[in-house]
Amino acid sequence: MLELVDLSKKFKHMYAVKNLNMFIEKGEIIGLLGPNGAGKSTAISMLSSLIEPTEGDVRFHNKSIIKNPAPLRKIIGVVPQEIALYEDLTAEENLQFFGKIYRLKGQLLKRKVDEVLEQIGLTDRRRDIVKTFSGGMKRRLNIGVAMLHEPELIIMDEPTVGIDPQSRNYILETVKRLNQEKQMTVLYTSHYMEEVEYLCDRIYIMDKGNMIASGTKDEIKRILSAEKTILIQAELLNDTFINFLHENPTINRVIKEEKEITIMVPKEINIFPILVKMAEDAKIELNSVDIKIPTLEDVFLHLTGRALRD
Amino acid sequence: MIGIFQAKIKMFIRSPWVFVMMTAMSIGFALIIGGTGAYTAITVPVYTTSEGIQNSIIGDILEDSDTYTFVWSSEAEVMEQLSSNKAEAGAALGEDNFQMIVGVETPSAKIIEQTIEEAYAKQAQYEHIVAASGATTVAGQKAILDELQASIAAPVFNIEVENFRGEDAFIYDNTFQTLFGFTLFFAIYTIAYNVLPILVEKKEGIWDRIILSPVKKWEMYVANLVYSFLVGYLQVGIIFSVFRFIIGVDFHGRFIETLLLMSVYVFAIVALSILLTAIVKTVAQFNAVLPIIAVSSAMIGGAYWPLEIVESKFLITLSKLNPITYGMEMLNGAVVYQYPLKELLFPISILLLMGVVFIGIGIHLMERRHI
Ligand SMILES: Nc1ncnc2c1ncn2[C@@H]1O[C@H](COP(=O)(O)OP(=O)(O)OP(=O)(O)O)[C@@H](O)[C@H]1O
Ligand SMILES: [Mg+2]
């Protein structure tokens, strides 16, 4: 349905997005994953015709939308990363406004507004001014506004940042339900692995403007099949120990956090005795050494050597 | 488009505070500083060496002044008033000339001087006319003078009377000076703060949402422009109506014309605000720049004091680029000088031109710089 071909966007001298290739089919939930500044929002702005790419093309049903965005605009709904609402109007008035600009009116508008309020769970707050809403409620309304005109494709840019787990689950459920009940196609952007893992059929991973992996969940996790991820916990981690880890040629990656270290090693290597020896030499005490089931987070770690959230 | 407009109106009604405050300030300042012409007239003590002056045309003209109360005194009284700072300036009036007696050089002194000068000029003109008429008897001369006076007092000016006024005679009317000045000044704030949401909506992504909808770009701009225009115009209408109908300032019979002329100014200021909104990057910058622009335009545009007393060539040149200058020129022209529309076409067209150019550049900049 929608295809991005070698899409790039350059701001001044820096590429925010570089040679991005991507496609979305009807009825899918696609995840777009990446840390802060990866270029997700920029990619979304290009594919929803809000900014012009420096290079490449966005094709909707095989026709470029760069010169003629109208057919695409008709069927998409965009949930922007920032709350884009009139803070001085009530929830209901916001929905009415955005409904009206989509040419909804009269009974139909009223029905759609009621329906969306129900879906986002704000029916009993409908007459309250948005300014008085909590962050999570604003987020929900921000999503609701994009659903009014029943878009075939909804594009959500980090719809869950900064809200409590309850609201977050509510949003995730809503997205899943819309996809199942209304066959709405979803492009879901996030830097939370769990969300993308839970929701999405296929996943794209971006970092620093580049696409670093793509495929179904399983395909992506298979990237890790040659490696295993090991989590080391210890009291008083010292530099000597860390240096040992870095110096060891069989250890591919070392990522240090406060009280734990994640390392990646080839599957066939038995690393336990080596670790124990290192700990002895560095005079530290290991609390635990675990092999982790690979998650998307690990995939990211593997691909970039950095944690997704720092 | 209607939807955008309705939403704006709704938000306006919900928080009209900037509007109410600016309107109240305009009225308040104009009232306090300008007064209504009756009780704030500045007293100017004058004395004369020749008896006839007080009852001559000069005397009549001075006594008719709305702005100043000329008080006939003795030389000693004039000196006393000046030295005790009870008066800013006085004058010694002679048969054909006069002498200003000024304590400190102030803008008022200059204007007082011009006012008296004008009275002498008028007297000279009258004398010429009387002489030209060939009337020889005292009664005949008096009849002609009366006729002249009557035609000047008549509300409809004919060409004959217009000729009486020298090309650059300067009339200073404190009531209108401050009323117009503060109205034009505060209208900038009201209008600019009603254009500002464009910037906010762009930043917050509301603008993008509307772009994705079937609403056309031009509809977005038109809705915003029309809304800002109406709010600005409403404020002007309220201020002028308060002065006209509650306080009883008569606008010299040109109330409706004044209101109509203001639409041109409001349009130019909407345009200026669009340009400003397009240039600044953040609301904070906007908040910082707006007062600078508003206050400096008001100063060099003659909103606080009449431009006629400004002498710096540089400031005069700057004032030519300033919508307030033309706004004041237009309003003073219509009300104080009673010019016909034809003579106001210059400031009107300059304001319209400024409006079109500012909007053109403003929208161009906004479109070029995404978000
Ligand atoms: N308008 C712009 N002008 C200049 N640089 C920009 C602009 N928009 C984005 N960038 C840069 O492009 C890069 C990608 O930004 P983008 O917002 O697409 O990242 P993101 O993946 O959405 O990040 P986040 O998770 O923080 O939302 C960043 O380095 C950012 O600074
Ligand atoms: Mg983003």
Asked if the Cβ–Cβ distance from B208 to A78 is below 8 Å, we say yes
Asked if the Cβ–Cβ distance from B205 to A82 is below 8 Å, we say yes
Does B211 touch chain A if contact means CB atoms closer than 8 Å?
A: yes
Structural domains of chain B, with CATH: 2-37+167-369 (no CATH), 42-153 (3.40.190.10)
What are B149-168's pLDDT values in tens digits? 776 666 554 443 333 333 44
What are B325-369's pLDDT values in tens digits? 999 999 988 888 888 888 899 999 999 999 999 999 999 998 886
Q: Which of A18, A42, A82, A300, when mutated, tests ligand 1's pocket best, judged by the most ligand atoms within 8 Å of its CB?
A: A42
**Model pTM score:** 0.73
What are A6-58's pLDDT values in tens digits? 999 999 889 999 999 999 999 999 999 888 889 999 999 999 999 999 999 99
Give the residue-averaged pLDDT of A214-229.
81
- Nearest ligand 1 atom to alpha carbon A12: 4
Does A128 touch chain B if contact means CB atoms closer than 8 Å?
A: no
Which 3 state secondary structure label does DSSP give B191?
Answer: helix
Q: How far is B368 from chain A (nearest CA, A)?
A: 11
pLDDT at A114 over 50: yes
Angle, CA B53 vertex, CA B51 and CA B57 arms, to 5°: 150
Ligand lying nearest the CA atom of residue A51: 1
Directed axis angle between helix B255-279 and helix B341-368, to 10°? 20
The chain A residue lying nearest B14, using CA atoms, is: A88
Asked if the Cβ–Cβ distance from B10 to A103 is below 8 Å, we say no
pLDDT at B3 over 80: yes
- Nearest ligand 1 atom to alpha carbon A42: 18
Q: Whose CA is nearest to atom 25 of ligand 1?
A: A36
What are B20-40's pLDDT values in tens digits? 998 998 898 888 877 654 444
At residue B158, the pLDDT reads: 45
Higher-confidence residue of B313 and B133: namely B313
| Fold category of A225-304 in CATH | Alpha-Beta Plaits (3.30.70)
| CB of A204 closer than 8 Å to CB of A32 | yes
**Residue A212 dihedral angles phi and psi, to the nearest 5°:** -105, -15
- Nearest ligand 1 atom to alpha carbon A191: 25
CA separation for the pair B54, B142 (Å, rounded): 17
Which amino acid is residue B88, in one-letter code?
A: E
Does B210 touch chain A if contact means CB atoms closer than 8 Å?
A: yes
The chain B residue lying nearest A151, using CA atoms, is: B213
Asked if the Cβ–Cβ distance from B11 to A86 is below 8 Å, we say yes
Which 3 state secondary structure label does DSSP give A24?
Answer: strand
Give the residue-averaged pLDDT of A212-241.
84
Contacts of A97 in chain B (CB under 8 A): 3-4, 6-7
| CB of A167 closer than 8 Å to CB of A10 | no
Which 3 state secondary structure label does DSSP give A159?
Answer: coil
Contacts of B15 in chain A (CB under 8 A): 88
- Nearest ligand 1 atom to alpha carbon A44: 18
Count CA atoms within 13 Å of residue A73 on its CB side: 22
> What value of ipTM does the predicted structure carry?
0.81
Return the CATH number of the domain spanning residue range A2-220.
Answer: 3.40.50.300
How far does Cα B361 stand from its chain's mean position? 27
Q: Which of A9, A11, A45, when mutated, tests ligand 1's pocket best, judged by the most ligand atoms within 8 Å of its CB?
A: A11
Q: Whose CA is nearest to atom 2 of ligand 1?
A: A11
Per-residue tokens: B241: 């109506």
Out of B4, B215, B370, name the one closest to residue A51 (CB): B370
Q: Is the CB of A272 under 6 A from ligand 1?
A: no
User: Is residue B311 very low, low, confident or very high in pLDDT (cuts 50, 70, 90)?
Assistant: confident
Q: Is the CB of A18 under 6 A from ligand 1?
A: no
What are A149-195's pLDDT values in tens digits? 999 999 999 998 877 888 888 888 888 988 998 899 999 998 888 88
User: Is residue A110 very low, low, confident or very high in pLDDT (cuts 50, 70, 90)?
Assistant: very high
Q: Is the CB of A34 under 6 A from ligand 1?
A: yes
Name the residue ranges covered by the structural domains of chain A. 2-220, 225-304
| CB of A26 closer than 8 Å to CB of A1 | yes
Per-residue tokens: B18: 């900037």
What are A276-285's pLDDT values in tens digits? 888 888 888 8
Does A47 touch chain B if contact means CB atoms closer than 8 Å?
A: no
Instruction: Supply the mean pLDDT for chain B.
Output: 84
Give the residue-averaged pLDDT of B48-69.
77
Rg over CA atoms, chain B: 25
Mutant choice from A86, A138, A158 vs B, greatest count of B C-beta within 10 A: A86
User: Is residue B66 very low, low, confident or very high in pLDDT (cuts 50, 70, 90)?
Assistant: low
Asked if the Cβ–Cβ distance from A88 to B14 is below 8 Å, we say yes
Which 3 state secondary structure label does DSSP give B327?
Answer: helix
User: Is residue A144 very low, low, confident or very high in pLDDT (cuts 50, 70, 90)?
Assistant: very high
Q: Is the CB of A266 under 6 A from ligand 1?
A: no
Per-residue tokens: B121: 């000029």
Cβ within 8 Å of B, A 130-149: 145-146
Asked if the Cβ–Cβ distance from A89 to B7 is below 8 Å, we say yes
Instruction: Give me the residue label for tokens 């529309």.
Output: B341
Asked if the Cβ–Cβ distance from A82 to B7 is below 8 Å, we say no
